[in-house]
Structure 1
Amino acid sequence: MPLARRLTLGDATAIGLGSMIGAGVFSVWGPAIGVAGSGILIALVIAAIVAYCNATASAQLAAVHPVAGGTYAYARAEIGPWWGFVAGWSFVVGKIASCAAMAMTFAAYAAPDGWQRPVAIAAVVALVTVNCLGITRTALVTRVLVVCSLLGLAVVVAVGLGSASASTPSPLPDATAYGVLQAAGLLFFAFAGYARIATMGEEVVDPARTIPRAIALALGGAVFVYVLIGITVVVTLGGEAVSSSAPLADVLASTGWAALTPVVRITAAAASLGALLALLTGIGRTTLAMAREKDLPSFLAKVDDRRQVPRRAEIVIAVIVVGIVLVADLRDAIGFSSFGVLLYYLIANAAAFRQHGAVRRHPRALQVVGALGCLLLVNTLPVLASIVGTAVVLIGVLSRVVRLRLTR
């Protein structure tokens, strides 16, 4: 049974923004400025360029293949089943870990000490319940969370830039080429949420027109927000941002507006929930697509007759995420998720590069730049993250080999 086409341009754009304006905008600046120093804005531009190239690949593919699953479905159609499996497996496994980390991030802002895990579990259960009620409910809740996040960030920018002339920030560390690339890698993952729009291609109205426009609008909006926040942090905190675990709260404190710090806490909680909701939605659709092709248990391919959502997949994912939250704290241990994201987009660029004729919307050069950008940024990841990411991909590949042999 197919999913229902109910998402409008506004819905799809909101889901993309909710994915990109997540908890990262509140925490990425310290590590990014620490490695990029005075080159932080150059790193932001590099990340935006790589993200744009990857976004054009996803948009072009989604216009031709308006089905659930994102790059999993696109790579199967354009390159072959194995490439599709690697992309889908990397996305599902990596993003499930991200869900657990995002739930714990929300709880860190919203719950008192000792209550983080119960609150994180409650958040996962609540958001999966929203997803199971139908995609229009998901879009509505996402809109609310995105508006809350943007309002809070607007307060930080207004206060920070309005008071910047009265303060003298400490100097930024000197920039190095490798440090700028490392920072670009950190910032790129903040922009990777536009893939969530593509994974829901089966639920978008007029997908050939709506998905490319939604991806462009969401990415453009996210880049604009990150540029404003980056400038605000640099001109108010300067080098002090390197040692800050909550740079946006410190922006308010440094300008004499510490009383507004709860605004940052509420905004970060809303942004974390928005990103978590978009993650759960995207994983559910990719899981559905993989189950339809028997790359995951076919039990998960069932679409609810009434709500027309992959309810079984959503519930199973929620159970796994809750289990991870109970046994591990992944806020500092999800480097392999970054590895999976870059591999996912590398395959997306390869699939889009193979498209010919009238279906092409963008020059092939953009796919080449996107693929090279993914390869460049993956080499800036910590060695352990790359090793763990490679191991996770190999486990998936071996499991598929075993399944295919047993099936034969």
Structure 2
Amino acid sequence: MPLARRLTLGDATALGLGSMIGAGVFAVWAPAIGVAGSGLLTALAIAAVVAYCNATASAQLAAVHPVAGGTYAYARAEIGPWWGFVAGWSFVIGKIASCAAMAMTFAAYAAPAGWQTPVAIAAVGALATVNCLGVTRTALATRILVVCSLLGLAVVVAVGLGAASAATPSPLPAATAYGVLQGAGLLFFAFAGYARIATMGEEVVDPARTIPRAIALALGGAVVVYLLVAVTVVVTLGGNAASSSAPLADVLASTGWSALTPVVRITAAAASLGALLALLTGIGRTSLAMAREKDLPSFLAKVDDRRRVPRRAEILIAAIVVAIVLVADVRDAIGFSSFGVLLYYLIANAAAFRQPASARRYPRALQVVGALGCLLLVNTLPVLASIAGTAVVLIGVLYRVIRLRITS
């Protein structure tokens, strides 16, 4: 049974923004400044350029293949089933790690000490339930959470930049080329949400027109927000941000506005929930597409007759995220997620590069830059994240090999 086309341009843009304006804007600055130092803004620019190239590839592919599954479906059609499988598997494992990071970040800001894990688990369960009730409810909830997030971030930026002339930030660590690239790889984690729009191609109204526009709007909005926040953190905290567990709260404290710290906590909680909701939605659709092709167990291909959502996939994904929350660390989850997502977009660029002239909306040079950028950034990620990511990708490949042999 096909999914229902109910998402408008505004809905799709909100889902993309909800995925990008999430826990990353609160969690990524400390590790990024720690490795990139005074090259933070350069690292942010590199991440944004790679994200833009990847976004144009996704938009071009989505216009021709308006189905659920994102690059999994695109790569299958353009360059073959194996490439599609690796893309889909990388997306699923990377974004499941992102879900765990979002849930843990939400709990860190919203829950009292000692209650973070139960609250994170409750958040996953609640949002999985929202997704199971239908995609229009998902889009409405995401819009509300995005607005809350942007209002809170606006307060932080206004206060921080308004008091910047009186701030005494500590010096930033010296930048190195490798550190800047590693920072860009970590910051890329914050820009990867536009993929959620493409994965929902089967539920978007007029997808050939809506998806490219929504991707451009969501990514452009996210770049502006991240640039403003990055400048605010640098001019108020400087190098001290590298050791901060809550840099945006420290921005307020350093400018004499610590009374507004609850604003940051509420904003962080809303942003994390918005990103978690959109992520769970996108993973469910990719899992549905893979199950339809037997690349995941076929019982996940069931679409609920009433709500028209892949309920079984949503429930299983939520259960896996809960398991990760019980054992994982936020920073490890960010590195692992970046590995899976960069590999996913590497394949997206390859698939878009193979498209004929009749389907081309952007020059091939953008796909070349995007692919090279993905390769460069994935090789600068923390070693443990790369090793773990490689191992899990190989497990997926082994699963598919065994499945093909059994069914041949």
Superposition TM-score, scaled by structure 1 size: 0.98
In the alignment, residue 181 of structure 1 is paired with which amino acid? L
Q: Does the residue aligned with 1:203 lie in a helix, a strand or coil?
A: coil
Q: Which residue of 2 aligns with 1:38?
A: 38
CA–CA separation in structure 1 for the residues paired with 2:19 and 2:369: 23
Q: Which residue of 2 aligns with 1:332?
A: 331
Q: Which residue of 1 aligns with 2:281?
A: 281
- State the Cα distance separating 1:379 from its structure 2 match: 1.0
Is 1:263 the counterpart of 2:263? The answer is yes
Q: Which residue of 2 aligns with 1:98?
A: 98
Matches within 5 A, 1:4-403: 4-326=4-326, 328-334=327-333, 335-403=335-403
Q: Does the residue aligned with 2:332 lie in a helix, a strand or coil?
A: coil
Could you list the per-position Cα deviations for residues 100-123 of structure 1 after superposition, in whole angstroms to 9, with x for gaps in the alignment?
A: 232122111111122222211211
- State the Cα distance separating 1:234 from its structure 2 match: 1.0
CA–CA separation in structure 2 for the residues paired with 1:41 and 1:324: 32
Worse-matched range after superposition: 208-217 or 19-28: 19-28
CA–CA separation in structure 2 for the residues paired with 1:185 and 1:324: 22
In the alignment, residue 390 of structure 2 is paired with which amino acid? T
Question: Quick one: percent identity of the two aligned structures?
Answer: 88
Q: Does the residue aligned with 2:35 lie in a helix, a strand or coil?
A: helix
CA–CA separation in structure 1 for the residues paired with 2:332 and 2:177: 26
In the alignment, residue 173 of structure 2 is paired with which amino acid? P
Asked if the contact 1:164/1:236 (under 8 Å) is kept, the reply is yes
Asked if the contact 1:124/1:318 (under 8 Å) is kept, the reply is yes
Could you list the per-position Cα deviations for residues 139-189 of structure 1 after superposition, in whole angstroms to 9, with x for gaps in the alignment?
A: 000000000000000000010011111223222222211111111111111
In the alignment, residue 381 of structure 1 is paired with which amino acid? L
- State the Cα distance separating 1:276 from its structure 2 match: 0.6
Asked if the contact 2:27/2:105 (under 8 Å) is kept, the reply is no
Q: Does the residue aligned with 2:191 lie in a helix, a strand or coil?
A: helix
Asked if the contact 2:196/2:278 (under 8 Å) is kept, the reply is yes
Asked if the contact 1:14/1:143 (under 8 Å) is kept, the reply is yes
CA–CA separation in structure 2 for the residues paired with 1:274 and 1:242: 25
CA–CA separation in structure 1 for the residues paired with 2:380 and 2:207: 35
CA–CA separation in structure 1 for the residues paired with 2:324 and 2:47: 30
Asked if the contact 2:94/2:336 (under 8 Å) is kept, the reply is yes
CA–CA separation in structure 2 for the residues paired with 1:384 and 1:94: 14
- State the Cα distance separating 1:231 from its structure 2 match: 0.7
Asked if the contact 1:97/1:330 (under 8 Å) is kept, the reply is no
Superposition TM-score, scaled by structure 2 size: 0.98
- State the Cα distance separating 1:43 from its structure 2 match: 1.1
Asked if the contact 2:103/2:124 (under 8 Å) is kept, the reply is yes
- State the Cα distance separating 1:42 from its structure 2 match: 1.2
CA–CA separation in structure 2 for the residues paired with 1:330 and 1:138: 27
CA–CA separation in structure 1 for the residues paired with 2:351 and 2:73: 10
Distance 1:370 1:303, change over 3 A: same
In the alignment, residue 131 of structure 2 is paired with which amino acid? N
In the alignment, residue 63 of structure 1 is paired with which amino acid? A
Asked if the contact 1:104/1:329 (under 8 Å) is kept, the reply is no
Q: Which residue of 2 aligns with 1:2?
A: 2
Q: Does the residue aligned with 2:308 lie in a helix, a strand or coil?
A: coil
- State the Cα distance separating 1:336 from its structure 2 match: 2.6
- State the Cα distance separating 1:325 from its structure 2 match: 2.7
- Ranges in structure 1 where 5+ consecutive residues have no aligned partner: none
CA–CA separation in structure 2 for the residues paired with 1:117 and 1:177: 37
CA–CA separation in structure 2 for the residues paired with 1:389 and 1:248: 30
CA–CA separation in structure 2 for the residues paired with 1:330 and 1:204: 35
Could you list the per-position Cα deviations for residues 61-87 of structure 1 after superposition, in whole angstroms to 9, with x for gaps in the alignment?
A: 000000000000000000000000001
Asked if the contact 2:13/2:215 (under 8 Å) is kept, the reply is yes
RMSD across aligned positions (CA): 1.0
Asked if the contact 2:97/2:336 (under 8 Å) is kept, the reply is no
In the alignment, residue 285 of structure 1 is paired with which amino acid? R
Runs of 4+ in 1 over 6 A off after TM superposition: none
Worse-matched range after superposition: 142-151 or 229-238: 229-238
- Ranges in structure 2 where 5+ consecutive residues have no aligned partner: none
- State the Cα distance separating 1:241 from its structure 2 match: 1.4
